Every structure is written in C-alpha cells, then in structure tokens.
Structure 1
Amino acid sequence: MRRGVLYAVIAYLAWGLLPLYWNVFASMGSLEILAHRIVWSFVFVGLLLVVTRRWRQMRGAMAGTKGKIAMILCSLFICANWLIYIWAVNHGKVMETSLGYYMNPLLSVLFGVVFLKERLKLGQWVALGLAAAGVLYITFQYGEFPWVAISLALSFALYGLTKKQLQADALSGVAWETLLVVPISILYLGILQGSHTATAWAMEGWQIALLMLAGVVTALPLLWFAEATKYLPLSTIGFIQYLSPTISLLSAVFLFGEDFTTSHLISFSLIWAALVVYTVSSLRKKPQSAPLRTNPS
C-alpha cells in the first residue's frame, strides 16, 4: 500500500509541476516543442523497450484492424492534448489547464454513460450537474468560453475512451503513440531547420539538455502511475489524482502571477464540490462507472 501511494504521489507531483518545465521553453513555438517532445519520447521509450526486451509486447498492441484504428486515434488525441497544454502554459493560461484536469474525471464518467452505456447513481448525476454549472458560470461571467479547459478535458477523455479498446501496457502505448507521429515531427523540425526558423538550438545549453529530456519527463510519470495501479484501489488513486491540478493551480497563482478572482473561486468551488459528491457517491456503490483518468500532459 505504501509503495503504491509513493508511486502515485510522485507521478501526480511530476504532472503537477509540468507547467514549470514547459515554461523553460517559452521562447519556442508550441508546435516545435511538441515535435521535440514526440521525437525524444520515442527515443527514450525505444531505449527502454530494447533494454527490457519488450518489443514483442509492443507489436501485439496493434493487432487487428480495430487495434490499429484505436492506436491511431489514441496518438491523435494525446498529441492534441499535449499541444493544447504546452500552448496554454506558455500563453499564461496555467489556471485554465488546472480547471481542465479537475473536469477530466467527470467528463470521462459522462463518456462512460453515453458511449459505454454505464449507469450512474443520483449523486453522480448531481456531480455532473455541478461541474456543468461551474463551466457555465465562468463562461457567462467572462463572456469567453474556457476552450483550453474544455479542450484538455475533452481530448483526454476521448483518449481514455479509445484506450479502453486496446490491451497495451503504458510503455508499449507511448511507444506506438509517438512512433505514429515521429515521421511528421522529424519532417516539421527539418523544415524549420532548413528555413532557419528553428529556435531550439539557439537556446542556452542547459535548456537544450532539458528539452532532450522531454522523453523522460513524458514516460516516467506514466510508468510510475502504472506501478501505482498494481498496488492501490481505484478510489485511492482517484483521491491522489487531484494533487496534480491543485499544484498547477497554486503555480498559476503564486509562480506565474495569474489572477484568481471571485469568479474563479465560484467556478472552481462548483467543480470541487462536484468531485467530492462524485467521489463519495462512487465509494458507496459497486464500480460501474467510468474510471478516473490520469493526467497525460
């Protein structure tokens, strides 16, 4: 139990601190950062597969037409999620990314009801209603749809839904998801280099070294999370999951200087209340609803 909690905490702690990491590359374009993340993630995961001799498991993850289609969709959804997250961090919207990842478990539950015909209790429907109220409040208060939060929650909920169609372990999944888009990423980086518009290699040495560690930053939390699931019940992981967006929210306010207004307080309070209601309701029933999803950013 202690080992599982340790793995879960360090995984969500790492995800919560990601805004600080991506902000190091604020001088780069979001697409360029994403391309480097994809390339270096595949390099790191590929090395892990070679060392652990798990290439056969990776091949099995794409078995059949259904598996191939699902893996392609997973790759597209997770890349979209990464791009939106990186763009948001480097455009002063860390607080909105936090809102998105508070919303994500509830959206995953809604997808479970709509697409997988899962059944919810009254308390869980109340939770979804509270979350919707929180989103609507901040939308009407600011007159601007919180598209970053919604897009992050939506892209990862779709990723999680599609992932249910696969039998891939965390390492094989990341390997395929990056391999499928590595050629496009290399081509894009080549075009930037050829047109002399690449900015990565103009950074300081320590920044370049950190950029090359993007694969480690991407893969290790996923592997830690996978280990945590071996030792902990889903309900425990669900509680620990909120560590990540909470750290991002605190970073937004105290490190990035974003304003936390009364409107934010009301909207976030509705989301927090929804999570409490949903969690309490889930603990009092047999597990029929969609599982809480991890943070992939």
Structure 2
Amino acid sequence: MTPLRLGYLYGLAAYLLWGFFPLYFKLLRPASPLEILAHRVVWSVAFVALLLVAMRNLGFLRALSRRPRALAGIATAAALIAVNWFTYIYGVNSDRVVETALGYFINPLVVVLLGVVVLGERLRPAQWLALGVGALAVAVLTIDYGRLPYLALALAFTFGGYSLVKKRLGLPAAEGLFVESAVLALPALAFLGWLSVTGDATFGQVSTAHTGLLVLAGALTAIPLLLFAGAANRLPLTGLGMLQYVAPILQLGCGVLIFHEPMPPARLAGFALVWLALIVFTADGLRQARRTRRQPPTAVSPAAAS
C-alpha cells in the first residue's frame, strides 16, 4: 500500500471514530459530563503512558521540563481541550448532538478567523466571503434557537484555539496528549475521589459494562489522535482538509437519524448556509493549492542553503 493510500486510510479511520462519538458518550449515562471528563483524562494518561513505555519514548519529558514557555503552552492547550471535551460531552448527553455537529462544521472558519485576529494573516476575497456567509448562518441559527448556538461556538473556538497552540508547540500526537492529560490528571483524580467519598460516583456502581466503557475512554481518546497524526504525515493539506467534514456529517446523522433531534426548516437553512460557506472555503483552498503547485521552485543560493 502506498503512503498516500495509507494516509487516507488512517485519516478516514480517525474521522469515522470521531463521527460516532455521540453513540459512545450516550452509553456513559448516568455518569455526569464532569465525571466522564475526569475519567477521559485519567485513562488517557494511563493508556498513553503505557504506549510511550512500550515505544521507549519517555525521554522527551526531560527535555520538555527545561522549556518553561512550552510548558505554559501545554497548560493552555490542556485547559482549552478540557473545556472542549466537557462542552461536547454535555451537548451529547443533553440531547443537542446537532448543535455539537454545527460546532465542528464551523471550526475551519473559526481557525481562519483566529489566523487573522491572532496571527495577523491576510485573507483572500473568497475566504472573506466564506466568513461572511458563516456569520450569516450563525445569525439565522440564533433566530431559530432563540439564542446564540453557544455550544457550537464554544466547541469551534476552543478547538480552534487548541489547534493554534498545538501548531506553535509542534509536539507529536502521543507525547502532546500525554502531557496535556497529565496537567489535568491531578484535578481529575481529586474530583473522582470526591465523588467516591460523597457516594455520587457511577464508576463500579452501575454495571460491569458501564465501568468498562469508562475505562475505554482513554483508548478512544488516544487512538483517533494517533491515526490523525499518521494521516497528517502522509497526506497533503488539501486531502486532510476534505476529510475533516466526515466527522460532523456523521455526528449530524447521529443526531437527526438515530436520536431524532428536530431539524426545522429555519435550522436546516442555517446549516445550508454553513455548508455554502464551507464549499466556498474548500474550493478556494483547492484552487490556491493548484496554483502553488504550478509555480516554479525558487532557486536557493548556496549562502541561503547553509
């Protein structure tokens, strides 16, 4: 199998797992979103630690401990992904899967917006058009919901911010997830201990299957990220960009077809505007990628190459 095909296989597997996450999180009730989050953090640390030990790759911790700015960045990334995970779990288990899917549909537009605001990037006209249509979609959905779709916006902005921080850190997937989860592990363990003392913990109290599913949260968190890393190393950005829509499409399907969440005409119109914005955004990205490939390579002088 060629590296390109293997990359698409890894990427599709990652997004399929993420796409069916609503089915998994529904099975974890009656555990509260905070309890599920705490177990996700703790078992992620355990799973990835075992993986790194098997790979004999724990030496990176020593080098990382001498980089205080990187540690501060990891703490920021950990806080953002914790908020993102909690928001998603809360949305799924409060029967708002459709709204969580919206968050990941608009995430590419939010990433572009953060590039302008935080990094000072300049957008092409088509990208501005996509952002404008996306803003109109949010306005339509606000009217439909009778409020801002705050779960979707929280998911999009926290994951967009997390992506921005991770891009600057440049840590591999397994190492990054281990350190981020380790930052959150102590408060997560303290919360789980408090639940046990007060008698509110569901772990070990509901059924053997429920307990096993909570433990499985670690592997289900790490495996898609590792598959995604494998895809990112083998695929062009355009290919990876097209795959990113698989997960929210599946999540939307879960919400409407499996959990029978309502999709009135106004909400459908709002989603249609989001999809129109993504079509404009994706078409512009593909056009820009083709233009870049056609440009002749710039000659590099011996002085510049040294």
TM-score range, shorter-chain basis?
over 0.9
Larger Rg: 2
Cα deviation, residue 60, structure 1: 3.5
SS at match of 1:198: coil
Deviations 1:179-227 (A, max 9, x none): 0111111111111101111122212111211110111000000000000
- Out of 85, 110, 118, the position equivalent to 1:107 is 110
Runs in 1 of length 4+ with deviation above 4 angstroms? none
TM value normalised by structure 1: 0.94
- The corresponding residue for 1:203 is 206
Unmatched runs of 5 consecutive residues or more in structure 2: 291-306
CA contact 2:25–2:93 (8 Å) conserved in 1: yes
The answer as to 2:260 corresponding to 1:272 is no
Alignment of 1:91-240 (within 5 A): 91-240=94-243
The one-letter code sitting in structure 1 at the alignment partner of 2:242 is F
Q: Give the distance between the partners of 1:25 and 1:52, measured in 2 at CA.
A: 31
1:286 to partner: Cα distance: 5.3
Matched, 1:51 2:54: yes
Partner amino acid for 1:99? L
Conserved 8 A contact 1:104-1:153: yes
Alignment partner of 2:118: what SS? helix
CA distance in 1, matches of 2:194, 2:276: 48
SS at match of 2:40: helix
Map of 2:10 onto structure 1: 7
Q: Give the Å deviation of 1:117.
A: 1.6
Q: Which residue of 2 aligns with 1:64?
A: 67
Letter in 1 for 2:88: Y
| Counterpart contact for 1:112–1:118, Cα < 8 Å | yes
Q: In structure 1, list runs of 5 or more residues that go unmatched.
A: 288-297
> How far did residue 61 of structure 1 move?
4.3
CA distance in 1, matches of 2:146, 2:85: 26
Q: So what's the TM-score if we normalise by structure 2?
A: 0.91
Q: Please state how far the C-alpha of 1:62 moved relative to its aligned partner.
A: 5.2
Task: Tell me, in whole angstroms, the C-alpha distance in 1 between the residues paired with 2:150 and 2:204.
Answer: 32
Are the counterparts in 1 of residues 140 and 267 from structure 2 also a CA contact under 8 Å?
A: no
Cα distance in structure 2, aligned partners of 1:268 and 1:59 = 47
Offset, 1:283: 1.7
The alignment partner of 1:227 has SS state of helix
Q: Distance in 1 between matches of 2:246 and 2:61?
A: 31
- Count of residues paired in the alignment: 287
CA distance in 2, matches of 1:162, 1:92: 30
Identify the residue that residue 304 of structure 2 maps to in structure 1: none
Deviations 1:60-97 (A, max 9, x none): 44542211110000000000000000011000000000
Q: Which of the numbers 87, 92, 103 marks the counterpart of 1:89?
A: 92
Comparing 99-108 with 134-143, greater Cα deviation is found at 134-143
Instruction: State how far apart, in whole Å, the 1-side matches of 2:48 and 2:173 are.
Output: 10
Query: Secondary structure of the equivalent of 1:164?
Result: helix
Aligned AA (2:43):
W
The AA in structure 2 aligned to 1:118 is E
Q: What residue identity is the alignment partner of 2:262?
A: D
Identify which range, 253-262 or 91-100, moves more after superposition: 253-262
Aligned equivalents of 1:136 and 1:60: distance in 2? 47
Deviation, 1:141, is 2.7
Whether the 8 Å CA contact 2:81–2:158 is kept in 1: the answer is yes
Q: Considering only aligned residues, what root-mean-square deviation do their CA atoms show, in Å?
A: 1.2
